[in-house]
Amino acid sequence: MVTTNPVIDVRDVSFGYGKDLVLDRINLRVARGEYLGLIGPNGSGKTTLLRLILGLLPVTQGEIRLFGTPVQRFRDRWRVGYVAQKAASFNTAFPATVEEVVRTGLTARRGLLKRFTSSDRLAVRQALDRVGLLPYKDRLVGRLSGGQQQRVFIARALVSRPELLILDEPTVGVDASAEGQFYRLIRSLRKEMGLTVILVSHDIGAITQEVSSLACLNRRLFYHGSPADFGTDEQLCEFYGHEVVRIVHHHHPEEGEGA
Ligand code: ADP
């Protein structure tokens, strides 16, 4: 029987920087083609979970598999594109062109020291074309608007032709029209490239319109399922971390521990 591995499989992962747990027994599977919105209040562990998935922090408890391979043995870095938090609030004095920044995204595929080939140049052009910035390739990144800078970093994440794209708070600091353009871009990338996408946000109102599934994190994973079933209360996830958990369980004892 042929089974498809989940793109990401997080099993019983706990993590703390010190003695306190920032993540507590997280189980999360992300299927191929899923468009997951990861929500939770500030400090709820979203970036920490991403950093574990990306292999930037060591998994000390539990296991994380990427495309079926334990993350500590995963070598195909190019399969994962990452746009870090605050990528859009770029140092405007930084003297690099759009093309140069996008090119740095190729190191995952070809190593740091190799010369750029014509196929590298083609990959950079295609990535810039996908995000609508090809005419801007020779501009200094610092001269672009926040929304355009954000697209430069998306192109940088796309240039290795990844299968999974992870974006941490991509719409922070960009205006409403750039935000709309961002969501349209992700829609078209999913269609054209068949990407699996994880989008971290605390703007649940905006992302529930877009994503195919929602995960709500607040040290523990309180929800992973359809956005429609999560309910419409924007504050729900925040409350989940505190009193509401007990209240919800009190009213639904079949879901609680004492059932
Ligand atoms: P989020 O992305 O949801 O805002 P984070 O994963 O950044 O949450 O942070 C979760 C918790 O871990 C917070 O309490 C934060 O202060 C703490 N934390 C994050 N990074 C570090 C670090 N490098 N060292 C110590 N504590 C950290």
The residue nearest atom 20 of ligand 1, judged by CA position, is 48
pLDDT at 211: 95
CA of 111 to the centre of ligand 1 (A): 30
Q: Could you read off the pLDDT of 77-96 as tens digits, one per residue?
A: 899 999 987 665 556 667 89
What is the average pLDDT value for the chain, to the nearest integer?
85
pLDDT at 99: 94
254 has pLDDT over 90: no
Q: Could you read off the pLDDT of 158-189 as tens digits, one per residue?
A: 999 999 999 998 878 788 888 899 999 999 99
32 has pLDDT over 70: yes
The CATH label, of 3.30.450.20, 3.30.1330.10, 3.90.550.10, 3.40.50.300, for the domain at 8-91+166-239 is 3.40.50.300
pLDDT at 249: 43
The residue nearest atom 5 of ligand 1, judged by CA position, is 45
pLDDT at 93: 67
pLDDT at 253: 42
pLDDT at 255: 42
When pLDDT is averaged across residues 50-77 and rounded to a whole number, the result is 95
256 has pLDDT over 50: no
The residue nearest atom 25 of ligand 1, judged by CA position, is 17
The residue nearest atom 26 of ligand 1, judged by CA position, is 17
pLDDT at 168: 92
CA of 110 to the centre of ligand 1 (A): 32
pLDDT at 5: 84
pTM of the model: 0.86
CA of 57 to the centre of ligand 1 (A): 12
When pLDDT is averaged across residues 136-165 and rounded to a whole number, the result is 93
228 has pLDDT over 60: yes
The string over 137-175, giving b where at least 16 C-beta atoms fall within 10 Å of a residue's C-beta and e elsewhere, is: beebbeebebbbbbbbbbbbbbbbebbbbbbbbbbbbbe
